[in-house]
């Protein structure tokens, strides 16, 4: 078990208080009793079956956090993971065996998409940080005078300094006018601006999002889009609908905003003047009348456009042409694994801003993948995913585990493999980047998948990736040798009863 330090006890107390106060404003993102039963099974050492395809091997387990999301630092081999009660930093210079080097107690809802950023401030120094998006509450013992009001629901962005990975700490925070369910750096390697998930809170029916200026990390500010109007005016995005979710930036300098309104691509090369260039139109809008094609029954969750620099307008859909948009649709309110939230491929036909310039190609529900077992009475929606240059996508399907999908033929995506546990809830699955000898992340990916699990913590899988000739042998790349402080806590299974605000459609 983790050591019960005063800081951790304080955070636990704050978390309990937040949960009690939030009772009227928050709802379970799942059945509390079910989550507790799953954790009890795991803690008791009862038979918890592990099932995987022959091309996937479990390499390591790191229990100890109620894992929600994570991100990789760019200029140093570290992985920062967010849970419901802490932020943990892992040394991944040996990525097959991630080693915890620092942890900050932090009770937060929900920080569903931990996002990393950094800034080179001199030849010798790079500042590295992670961003907590606060939807409802956040409390950390190193910043006790800033405790969010869970009844009111405070939107905030919290900057966590991880420059010293052994000592993550709250550096600054800024209030927001729109939902910070997720917050994304426009350029993670030189993070000066970040976008929020957004919502329609300002003007019902008109989606908006916040832009944060992070030029001064000690004093971040929300940018005003209209200086002529009193107060801070957010920016507009029709991807939001009744609720926005995530910005994902591609290699060509375009960002896709996903939400209840579908997926909208913006030119963000000038981050303070985003310009819409493509959208999924009615086909991707869960709120439009007659939108019953089941490509967005609830919300478009996140996205990625591979090979974006190669885009050619009106070209046939293919990864080589940079015109494929990969999307997960989340629909966690549906317990039927044949309809509960799919992985999708879309064809980006044009970048001219015209209506419906992105059209659907294919979608796969968990049941379509043909993997076993399908969870019963649990979440089985698609959630966070990550793309490998080989054309294989790693997707977290909650109770459906980690699913690997081959999208080399985007019109006919198929299962490439899977891994699942009897007591598990995978929120995030991502490919580990290859770090060069200087410890800098490259555009290449290893054949290792990190799966962030609400029940199990962090699992490491080795995957037989097409074309690398390695099978399920580790592919770790070459990283710099770095000295780290001793591990502070010994991992054990520790599960916080899940309390998550249910994002509802607005009437």
Q: What is the full per-residue pLDDT of the chain (507 aa) written as tens digits? A: 333 333 333 443 444 434 333 333 333 344 445 455 655 666 655 557 899 999 999 999 998 778 889 999 999 999 999 988 899 999 999 999 999 999 999 877 677 888 999 999 998 999 999 999 987 656 656 654 555 554 445 789 999 999 999 999 999 999 999 999 999 999 999 999 999 999 986 666 679 999 999 999 999 999 999 999 999 999 999 999 889 999 999 999 999 999 999 999 999 999 999 999 999 999 999 877 656 678 999 999 999 999 999 999 999 999 999 999 999 999 977 888 888 899 999 999 999 999 989 999 999 999 999 886 776 666 899 999 999 999 999 999 999 999 999 999 999 999 999 999 988 899 999 999 999 999 999 999 999 999 999 889 999 999 999 999 999 998 765 433 333 222 222 222 222 223 333 333 333
Instruction: Strands of 365-413 (E only): list them.
Output: 385-387, 392-396, 402-406
Tell me how long the chain is: 507
Cα–Cα distance measured from residue 360 to residue 348, given in angstroms and rounded to the nearest whole number: 9
Q: Which two tokens stand for residue 38?
A: 């799953």
| Burial class of residue 39 (count of CB atoms within 10 Å of its CB; 0-12, 13-18, 19+) | buried
Instruction: Report the C-alpha gap between 211 and 183 in whole angstroms.
Output: 9
Residue 122 counted as domain residue: yes
CA atoms of 133 and 209, how far apart (whole Å) = 13
Residue 138 forms beta bridges with which residues?
Answer: 108
Among candidate residues 117, 106, 101, 60, the one with its CA nearest the CA of residue 83: 106
Task: Spell out where 106-222 has E strands.
Answer: 107-110, 115-120, 126-139, 156-161, 169-175, 183-185, 193-196, 199-203, 206-209, 211-213, 221-222
DSSP 317: S
Burial class (CB in 10 A: 0-12, 13-18, 19+), 104: buried
Domain that holds residue 67: 1-50+63-236+476-507
In this prediction, residue 28 carries a pLDDT of: 34
Is 469 a member of any domain? no
pLDDT at 506: 35
Please say whether the beta carbons of 380 and 397 come within 8 A. Answer: yes
In whole angstroms, give the CA distance from residue 102 to residue 90. Answer: 7
> What pLDDT sits at residue 141?
66
Edge-first strand order for the sheet with 78-83 is: 67-72, 78-83, 86-91, 99-105
Q: Give the pLDDT of residue 136.
A: 62
Q: Could you give the CA distance from residue 41 to residue 423 in angstroms, rounded to a whole number?
A: 7
Cβ atoms within 10 A of the Cβ of 485, count?
Answer: 12
User: Residue 448: which of 408, 400, 388 has the closest Cα?
Assistant: 388
Q: Give the count of alpha carbons within 13 A of 451, CB side only.
A: 36
Burial (0-12, 13-18, 19+ Cβ within 10 Å), 193: buried
* Beta-strand relationship, 402-406 and 107-110: unpaired
- The count of domains in the chain is 1
Tokens of 396: 């977290």
Is the pTM higher than 0.75?
yes
Measure CA of the first residue to CA of the last residue in the chain; give whole Å: 46
Please give the pLDDT value at position 12: 38
In a domain, 55, yes or no: no
User: Is 45 part of any domain?
Assistant: yes
In sequence order, the β-bridge partners of residue 249 are: 255
Say if 289 falls within a structural domain.
no
What is the rounded CA–CA span in Å between residue 122 and residue 226?
34
Tokens of 426: 């995978």
Contact 459, 493 (CB under 8 A): no
Q: What is the pLDDT of residue 148?
A: 53
DSSP state of 308: G
> Does some domain include residue 464?
no
pLDDT number for residue 15: 40
In a domain, 15, yes or no: yes
What local confidence, expressed as pLDDT, does residue 205 receive?
Answer: 61
Structure confidence at residue 488 (pLDDT): 26
- What pLDDT is recorded for position 336? 86
Model pLDDT, residue 49: 82
CA trace torsion 298, 26, 399, 72 (10° rounding) = 90
Q: Which residues pair with 291 in a beta bridge?
A: none
What pLDDT sits at residue 200? 85
């Amino acid at each position: 078990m983790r050591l019960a330090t005063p800081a951790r006890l304080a955070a636990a107390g704050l978390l309990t208080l937040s949960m009690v106060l939030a009772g009227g404003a928050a709802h379970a993102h799942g059945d509390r009793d079910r989550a507790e039963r799953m954790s009890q099974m795991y803690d008791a050492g009862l038979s918890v079956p592990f099932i995987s395809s022959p091309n996937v091997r479990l390499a390591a387990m790191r229990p100890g956090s109620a894992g929600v999301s994570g991100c990789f630092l760019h200029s140093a081999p570290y992985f920062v993971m967010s849970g419901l009660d802490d932020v943990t930093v892992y040394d991944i210079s040996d990525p097959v065996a991630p080693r915890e080097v620092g942890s900050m107690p932090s009770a937060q809802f929900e920080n569903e998409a931990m996002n990393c950023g950094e800034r080179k401030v001199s030849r010798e120094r790079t500042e590295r940080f992670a961003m907590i998006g606060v939807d409802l509450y956040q409390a950390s013992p190193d910043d006790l005078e800033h405790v969010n009001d869970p009844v009111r629901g405070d939107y905030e962005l919290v900057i966590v300094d991880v420059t010293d990975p052994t000592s993550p700490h709250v550096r600054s925070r800024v209030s927001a006018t729109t939902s910070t369910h997720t917050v994304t750096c426009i350029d993670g390697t030189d993070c000066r601006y970040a976008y929020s998930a957004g919502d329609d809170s300002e003007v019902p029916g008109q989606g908006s999002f916040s832009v944060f200026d992070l030029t001064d990390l000690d004093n971040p500010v929300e940018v005003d889009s209209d200086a002529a109007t009193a107060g801070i005016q957010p920016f507009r995005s029709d991807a939001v609908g009744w609720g926005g979710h995530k910005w994902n930036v591609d290699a060509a300098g375009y960002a896709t905003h996903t939400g209840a309104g579908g997926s909208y691509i913006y030119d963000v090369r000038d981050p303070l003047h985003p310009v819409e260039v493509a959208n999924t139109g009615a086909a991707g809008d869960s709120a439009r009348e007659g939108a019953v094609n089941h490509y967005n029954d609830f919300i478009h969750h996140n996205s990625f456009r591979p090979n974006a620099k190669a885009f050619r307008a009106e070209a046939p859909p293919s990864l080589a042409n940079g015109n494929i948009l990969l999307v997960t649709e989340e629909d966690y309110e549906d317990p039927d694994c044949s309809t509960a939230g799919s992985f999708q491929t879309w064809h980006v036909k044009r970048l001219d801003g015209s209506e419906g310039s992105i059209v659907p190609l294919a979608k796969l529900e968990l049941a379509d993948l043909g993997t076993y077992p399908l969870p019963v009475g649990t979440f089985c929606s698609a959630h966070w995913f990550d793309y490998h240059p080989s054309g294989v996508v790693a997707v977290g399907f909650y109770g459906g585990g980690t699913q690997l999908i081959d999208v080399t033929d985007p019109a006919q995506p198929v299962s490439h493999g899977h891994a699942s546990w009897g007591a598990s809830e995978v929120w995030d699955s991502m490919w580990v980047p290859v770090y060069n000898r200087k410890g800098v992340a490259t555009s290449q990916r290893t054949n290792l998948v990190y799966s962030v699990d609400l029940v199990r913590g962090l699992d490491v899988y080795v995957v037989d990736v097409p074309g690398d000739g390695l099978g399920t042998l580790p592919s770790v790349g070459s990283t710099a040798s770095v000295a780290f402080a001793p591990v502070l806590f010994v991992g054990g299974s520790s599960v916080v009863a899940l309390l998550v605000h249910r994002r509802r459609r607005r009437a």
